Amino acid sequence: MQINNNKLLDTVKIERLELDCIIGINPWERLTKQQITVDIEIDTDLTAAGKSDSIEDTINYRTIAKTVTTEVEKSDYGLVESIGAKIADICLEDDRVFSVRVTVRKPGAVRKASAVGIVIRRNRTE
């Protein structure tokens, strides 16, 4: 949780979303899709949803996951940084999102490492 205007924020999380996309700068990486994993943490206020028990009062994680999946799997990227920035932009399209943290991992990119990756943090003021 982060603090926004002295108010504690809640977090909607999507963990280990597995996506296939063209990713990499090497010629061989441009030929076939590779799997990446994505974690998304969305800071918002879940007070209304907690009271109403209504999907309309919250960030719908299924909608976010579908939108991110469609965008990433149809595109090709050179850098995981570009993927992370695009995912953060998608999340911030909802006015209820105060901030987002996106982790993108590319398994097998470096020998002897299980994965390499980046963390992108964006908030409403950027």
Q: What pLDDT was estimated at residue 124?
A: 86
Domain that holds residue 100: 3-123
Count: domains in the chain: 1
CA 83, 88, 89 angle in degrees (round to 5)?
100
90: three-class secondary structure by DSSP = helix
What type of residue sits at position 66? K
Tens of pLDDT, residue by residue over 26-67, are: 999 899 999 999 999 999 999 999 999 999 999 999 999 999
| Cβ 37 vs Cβ 7: under 8 Å | no
pLDDT, average across residues 16-22: 96
Q: What pLDDT was estimated at residue 46?
A: 95
Q: What is the CATH number of the domain that holds 62?
A: 3.30.1130.10
What CA–CA distances, in Å, run from 50 to 46, 68, 103?
Answer: 6, 25, 27
CA 18, 118, 14 angle in degrees (round to 5)?
40
